[in-house]
């Protein structure tokens, strides 16, 4: 049953060989039918030509035979026998004299005006009841009466013509069928042989194991180059994703090792001394270490999302920064008041649209505010501002009047796990790295500057919505 189900699945899958053969067999079958119709038409035309010539010759021969007879009201018995003789039983005749009228006939069919005397026979179509006839008429002058004109008309049905055409068709169709079968055999062999060019590529891919490097183009046919290039692009994205996953695991192990070791130390301390003061002090340290581990984990996940190659810019939609930024700033006001920091916002009243993802932009602003509130210090001020750029973009600025960053270290801001030496505040060194990657996803540029009050100013320049 398993083998039957597997065979059914294989037969249901699309096959390039079946597709090519079906694409060729159907037109070839139609071509064979059209060829049969064309052959029959040509054969019928040839049969009509031969029969017309013979019919005209018969009419002319009969007229020449009657030229020397003395004709009055009828023809001689010998002439009537020749006129009535018909081996195919589908022949009709008529002999008319201009002076004596109808001398002999065996059917009443349509007659035309007598053709010119002593000219080649005239052929035309006529009907006799439900039968179609082909008629040949010729006119001569009798030898015994030059005043008279003798018109001999010979007619026959079309049955023998069609019979001869069918005979020719039956002789031609088998030969044409054999020829087409030979062509199809060559096509079958050609398709099978042509698909063998994929075997080296298949063998090379099968031998790679878990390797996800690009396929390359050395043995790839031109027709499937677009497919292999698409697979190569997929491999590149997959490799980037795996590398990002490995980096996340390594970063998590590195960053969480210290908080976890601290937690273990304080747990052992609390177990060794159960005095209330020791327990309170250990629990306080454990709380701070737990918050630090949770923050580190959250920022590592945020950095991984920002770096992920699956976060395509094509999913970006228009976002109004003039609405998003004030809302994000207002959520951090209680935190700023608790830290004795003056947090403010300045921006135009009108909308300032950019193309982006609202959640990512909110996360970027949160990290900028978190960095400013954490390192500016009590008694300082943090200002968030939005300005419409002359070229149609938007500039977001977060500046503070705290201790700032030395000029020599400004270029290193945004690196993963980089922290300014001498900083006493706890941090992971990931906040500005997250900001950097989110800005790159939005085609924005970042500048780190010292303010006039020796603080830090972070400027994010967004492009116009159309350019983004």
- What span, in angstroms and rounded, lies between the C-alpha atoms of 286 and 95? 132
Q: How confident is the model at residue 137 (pLDDT cuts 50, 70, 90)?
A: very high
- Could you tell me which residues are beta bridge partners of residue 342? 381
- In the prediction, which pLDDT does 4 show? 55
- In the prediction, which pLDDT does 385 show? 92
Same domain, 428 and 336: yes
Same domain, 297 and 362: no
Is 425 or 440 the better-scoring residue by pLDDT? 440
In a domain, 3, yes or no: no
Q: What is the pLDDT of residues 55-95, one digit of tens each?
A: 888 888 888 877 776 665 566 666 666 666 655 556 888 88
Last-in-domain residue among 261, 288, 306: 306
Is 13 or 171 the better-scoring residue by pLDDT? 171
In a domain, 8, yes or no: no
- Could you tell me which residues are beta bridge partners of residue 123? 136
- In the prediction, which pLDDT does 298 show? 65
Tally of domains in the chain? 3
Give the pair of three-digit tokens for residue 283: 């629990």
Query: What CATH number is given to the structural domain containing 278?
Result: 1.10.287
Question: Is pLDDT above 70 for 420?
Answer: no
Q: What is the pLDDT of residues 238-297, one digit of tens each?
A: 777 666 566 656 655 555 666 676 677 777 777 777 777 877 777 777 777 676 666 666
Q: How confident is the model at residue 396 (pLDDT cuts 50, 70, 90)?
A: very high
- In the prediction, which pLDDT does 244 show? 58
Q: What is the pLDDT of residues 2-51, one digit of tens each?
A: 455 555 555 556 676 777 777 777 887 788 888 888 888 998 899 899 99
Question: Is pLDDT above 70 for 429?
Answer: no
In a domain, 427, yes or no: yes
Same domain, 230 and 167: no
Same domain, 328 and 296: no
Last-in-domain residue among 242, 273, 306: 306
Q: What is the pLDDT of residues 286-302, one digit of tens each?
A: 777 676 666 666 666 66
Global pTM reads: 0.47
- What span, in angstroms and rounded, lies between the C-alpha atoms of 296 and 356? 26
Same domain, 92 and 70: yes
- In the prediction, which pLDDT does 295 show? 65
Task: At 262, give phi and psi (nearest 5°).
Answer: -65, -40
Q: What's the Cα-to-Cα distance from 444 to each of 216, 318, 348, 365, 437, rounded to whole Å?
A: 33, 15, 20, 13, 10
In a domain, 288, yes or no: yes
Same domain, 299 and 415: no
Same domain, 297 and 320: no
Same domain, 96 and 183: yes
Which helix H or strand E contains 383, and what residues bound it?
strand 381-388
- In the prediction, which pLDDT does 72 show? 59
Same domain, 302 and 319: no
Same domain, 324 and 279: no
- In the prediction, which pLDDT does 364 show? 86
Contact 438, 455 (CB under 8 A): no
pLDDT above 70 coverage of the chain, percent:
76
Same domain, 68 and 168: yes
Segments forming the whole domain that contains residue 71 = 16-205
Helix ranges (H only) for 68-158 are: 77-84
Torsion (CA) 168, 173, 175, 178 in degrees, nearest 10 = -170
In a domain, 402, yes or no: yes
12-28 burial code (b ≥16 CB/10 A, e <16):
eeeeeeeebbeebeeee
Last-in-domain residue among 265, 282, 306: 306
Query: What CATH number is given to the structural domain containing 443?
Result: 3.30.565.10
In a domain, 216, yes or no: no
- In the prediction, which pLDDT does 273 show? 75
Q: How confident is the model at residue 416 (pLDDT cuts 50, 70, 90)?
A: low
pLDDT above 90 coverage of the chain, percent:
6
In a domain, 122, yes or no: yes
Among 397, 386, 272, which residue's Cα sits nearest to residue 320?
A: 386
Mean pLDDT, the chain, rounded, equals: 78
Q: How confident is the model at residue 360 (pLDDT cuts 50, 70, 90)?
A: confident
Which of 34-43, 361-370, 399-408 shows the lowest per-residue confidence on average (mean pLDDT)? 399-408
Mind giving me the DSSP string for 174-192? Answer: HHHHHHHHHHHHHHHHHHH
- In the prediction, which pLDDT does 409 show? 79
In a domain, 403, yes or no: yes
- Strand duo 381-388 + 342-346: pairing: parallel
- What span, in angstroms and rounded, lies between the C-alpha atoms of 461 and 177? 73
- What span, in angstroms and rounded, lies between the C-alpha atoms of 227 and 219? 14
Question: Is pLDDT above 70 for 335?
Answer: yes
Same domain, 188 and 276: no
């Amino acid at each position: 049953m398993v083998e039957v189900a597997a065979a059914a699945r294989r037969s249901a899958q699309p096959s390039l060989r079946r597709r090519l053969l079906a694409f060729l067999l159907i037109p070839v079958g139609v071509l064979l039918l059209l060829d049969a119709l064309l052959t029959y038409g040509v054969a019928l035309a040839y049969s009509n030509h031969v029969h017309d010539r013979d019919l005209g010759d018969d009419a002319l021969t009969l007229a020449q035979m009657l030229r020397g007879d003395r004709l009055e009201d009828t023809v001689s018995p010998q002439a009537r026998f020749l006129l009535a003789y018909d081996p195919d039983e589908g022949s009709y005749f008529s002999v008319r004299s201009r002076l004596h009228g109808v001398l002999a006939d065996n059917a009443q069919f349509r007659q035309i005006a007598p053709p010119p005397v002593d000219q080649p026979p005239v052929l035309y179509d006529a009907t006799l009841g439900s039968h179609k006839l082909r008629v040949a008429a010729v006119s001569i002058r009798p030898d015994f009466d030059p005043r008279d004109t003798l018109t001999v008309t010979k007619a026959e049905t079309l049955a023998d013509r069609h019979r001869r055409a069918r005979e020719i068709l039956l002789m031609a169709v088998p030969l044409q069928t054999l020829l087409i079968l030979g062509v199809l055999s060559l096509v079958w062999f050609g398709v099978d042989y042509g698909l063998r060019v994929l075997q080296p590529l298949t063998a090379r891919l099968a031998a790679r194991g878990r390797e996800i490097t690009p396929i390359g183009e050395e043995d790839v046919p031109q027709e499937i180059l677009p497919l292999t290039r698409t697979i190569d692009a997929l491999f590149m994205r997959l490799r980037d994703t795996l590398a990002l996953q490995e980096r996340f695991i390594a970063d998590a192990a590195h960053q969480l090792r210290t908080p976890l070791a601290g937690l273990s130390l304080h747990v052992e301390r609390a177990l060794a001394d159960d005095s209330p003061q020791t327990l309170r002090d250990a629990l306080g340290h454990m709380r701070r270490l737990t918050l630090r581990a949770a923050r580190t984990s959250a920022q590592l996940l945020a950095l991984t999302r920002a770096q992920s190659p699956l976060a395509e810019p094509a999913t970006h939609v228009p976002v109004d920064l003039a609405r998003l930024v004030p809302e994000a700033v207002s959520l951090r006001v209680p935190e700023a008041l608790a830290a004795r920091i003056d947090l403010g916002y300045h921006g135009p009243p009108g909308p300032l649209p950019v193309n982006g993802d609202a959640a990512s932009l909110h996360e970027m602003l949160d990290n900028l505010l978190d960095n400013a509130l954490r390192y500016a210090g009590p008694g300082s001020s943090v200002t968030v501002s939005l300005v419409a750029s002359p070229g149609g973009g938007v500039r977001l600025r977060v500046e503070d009047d705290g201790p700032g960053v030395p000029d020599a270290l400004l270029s290193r801001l945004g690196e993963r796990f980089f922290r300014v030496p001498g900083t006493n505040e706890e941090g992971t060194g990931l906040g500005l790295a997250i900001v950097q990657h989110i800005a790159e996803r939005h085609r924005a540029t970042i500048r780190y500057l010292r303010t006039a009050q020796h603080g830090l100013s972070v400027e994010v320049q967004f492009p116009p919505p159309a350019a983004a």
